[in-house]
Amino acid sequence: MKTKAGVPEWLALVFLTLVWGSSFILVKKGLESFSGMEVGALRIVITFVVLLPFVITRISTVPVSSFRFFFITGVIGSGIPPFLFGVAQMHIDSSLAGVLNSLTPLFTLIVGVLFFSIKAKWVNVAGIFLALAGVAGLLTAAHNPQLGNGVLYGLLVVAATILYGINMNIIKKRLAGFDPLTTTALMFAGLGIPAALYLFTNNGFVGKFATDPNTWASFGFVAILAVMGSAVSMVVHNWLIKRTSALFASTVTYIMPVVSIFWGVLDGEQFLPSFLVWIVLILAGVYLSNRVNNHRRLPKPDSEGCGPMEDKS
């Protein structure tokens, strides 16, 4: 039952904004000792371990016919995006990744229109083009030749938000009947072991803990991201939707970039005044693309994410 947002709901919104807005700087700190692929796998393994008790206690309550949807959403929403963010942030600033992550609700709408019978109006279409123009402008303005092809790696983040959009629609269509904790736990159930095998068959990963004095600090940053940004925040986010509305909960999408930019500037990342123009275009486009459709209860982003579901990672 939906209620008017009170102090607990506003505190939950602030919590999500701070955690998910900080996820990109945590990825960056993890990359000081680990590769992008290692950061992605480590996020998955830690989250899997945290959620494993809930997998054990709840898996027997889930119909066998639903397992394939948990596996699909796990791979799409929580399996691939952490690797995309990890690799991308080896070449682009964390603040830029945070801004691009705000495209998740836009792609949730696009996927819903194309494949899930969601109807869009002209204002939604205008918002889509406005946001995409903002992305093109921001990637071009933020391109740093010294870091390689920044535009290409920025597109990896965009690809992650597309996967989040697909994931949210599948969850809404196929897994809406399960409680948030069951959904989150079982999405990671099929990811933990493959990710662990990748890490521990990678000869360089274990050795870093003995040879690099900064490894444990980087591990700590990734652990915070996995526990708070994936396991805890997912439950809080879904609780917030249940207590208020998807529209109120989605407000986090528009505030997160402020937090990610703050951390980036504090960490010495470049932020040009011209970036603001493109960021405003992106956020305005995302807002317009979802403005009319909120009453249709479109699935909202969880992260990344970090995200979403996530990770949001």
Q: At what angle do helices 94-101 and 251-266 cross, to 10 degrees?
A: 170
pLDDT of residue 192: 94
Q: How many domains does the structure of the chain reveal?
A: 1
299 pLDDT tier (thresholds 50, 70, 90): very low
Between 271 and 150, name the one with better pLDDT. 271
pLDDT tens figures, 61-87: 999 999 999 999 999 989 999 999 999
Q: Is the pTM of this model over 0.75?
A: yes
Per the model's pLDDT, the better-predicted residue between 51 and 289 turns out to be 51
Which span out of 32-46, 179-193, 195-209 was modeled with the highest average pLDDT? Answer: 32-46
Average pLDDT, the chain: 83
Domain assignment present for residue 81? The answer is yes
In a domain, 312, yes or no: no
113-154 pLDDT, tens digit per residue, is 888 887 878 888 888 889 888 888 887 777 655 445 667 888
User: Percent of the chain scored above 90 by pLDDT?
Assistant: 38
Question: Would you call the peptide bond into 307 cis, given omega within 30 degrees of 0 as the criterion?
Answer: yes
Report which listed range, 1-10, 134-143, 223-232, 286-295, is most confident: 223-232
Report yes or no on 57 lying in a domain: yes
Q: Find out whether 189 and 44 touch, Cβ atoms under 8 Å.
A: no
Asked if residue 306 belongs to a domain, the reply is no
Cis preceding linkage at 305, omega within 30: yes
Position 305 in a domain = no
d(CA 292, CA 84): 31
Confidence at 30, pLDDT banded by 50, 70, 90: very high
Please tell me which of 90-94, 104-108, 123-127 the model is most confident about, judged by mean pLDDT. Answer: 90-94
Q: Which residue has the tokens 């990963």?
A: 205
Give residue 228's pLDDT band: very low, low, confident or very high (50, 70, 90). Answer: very high
What is the reported pLDDT for 292? 55
In order of 25, 122, 233, 310, the CA distances from 261 in angstroms are: 9, 31, 20, 20
Whether 303 is covered by a domain: the verdict is: no
Q: How far is CA 94 from CA 58, 192, 258, 264, 295, in A?
A: 36, 25, 12, 6, 33
> Does residue 307 belong to any structural domain of this protein?
no
pLDDT at 310: 42
The parent domain of residue 143 ranges over: 7-296
Instruction: Write out the two tokens for 271.
Output: 């932020």
Which residues have a Cβ under 8 Å from the Cβ of 87 and sit 6 or more positions away? 36, 37, 40, 153, 156
Confirm if 101 and 161 have CB atoms less than 8 A apart: yes
Q: Is residue 93 part of a domain?
A: yes
Nearest to 241 by CA among 301, 174, 162: 301
pLDDT of residue 57: 95
